[in-house]
Amino acid sequence: MKKSITPSSEVPSPFDPGHQRYSGLPFPSHRFIPGLTLHPHTISPLPTLKKGGGGDFLYGIDLFNFNYWWEAHEAWEMVWKTTAKTDDDGKFLQGLIQISAGMIKWWTGNLSGMKKLFKEGLEKLRSIPEQNLMGLDLKNQIARIQHFEESPSAENYPYIGLQPDPRWPKSKVLGRKISASISNDSTNLGPDRLKY
């Protein structure tokens, strides 16, 4: 059941607490919203992530989908640091990082800040010729982000959903090759089904 929440000075709860998860890592004890909550490094840091692992990317998706925007930024930045930064992998991750930062701006009522970060993030995502990176359908994700930007609300939240890539097990995933066990039920593409 989706929760109806609008931006405010309170800490966000997940809009859809039953949304699909891709990572088995636990969520932090609280969400960091600058100006509203203490910085997580002073309370409860993120679980130890393997620098640049695919699990960091999946954990970032979970964090984003459950409104841990700053924390998603941190998880994706771990992976971004392993890229060439200006290659497609780097632009892809930096685009997601900027969208996540834009969500914090939206929540705190800074719509011009949200639009600026969304513009920069969307430019990076649009510049990537690959249509499916790590199971993310970029064209559809870009459309969801644009829809949210035009009408920001919990109902229009741009959840990140992964789809199996028909080219697996030889799909390009952030510069690495993966193999995947994809069953006929592709709606639950979790980390236990990805082998790095």
- Tens-binned pLDDT, residue by residue, of the chain (196 aa): 333 344 444 567 889 999 999 888 998 877 888 877 666 665 455 555 444 456 788 999 999 999 999 999 999 998 899 889 899 999 999 999 999 999 999 999 999 999 999 999 999 999 999 888 878 899 999 999 999 999 999 999 999 998 765 544 433 444 443 323 222 333 333 333 333 2
Say if domain 50-166 classifies as CATH 3.40.1800.10: no
Residue 66: count of CB within 10 angstroms of its CB: 21
The domain limits of the chain are: 50-166
- Please enumerate, as own/partner, the contacts of 6-15 that have beta carbons within 8 Å and a separation of 24 or more: 6/153, 6/154, 7/106, 7/107, 7/108, 7/109, 7/152, 8/107, 9/36, 9/108, 10/36, 11/36, 11/37, 12/67, 12/107, 13/67, 14/65, 14/66, 14/67, 15/67, 15/154, 15/157
152 closest CA partner among 111, 123, 124: 111
Task: Please name the residues in contact with 184: beta carbons below 8 A apart, sequence gap of 6 or more.
Answer: none
Distance CA 3, CA 13 (A): 8
Q: Are strands 136-137 and 132-133 parallel, antiparallel or unpaired?
A: antiparallel
Amino acid present at 183: S
Report the predicted TM-score, pTM, of the whole model to 2 decimal places.
Answer: 0.77
Distance CA 46, CA 154 (A): 25
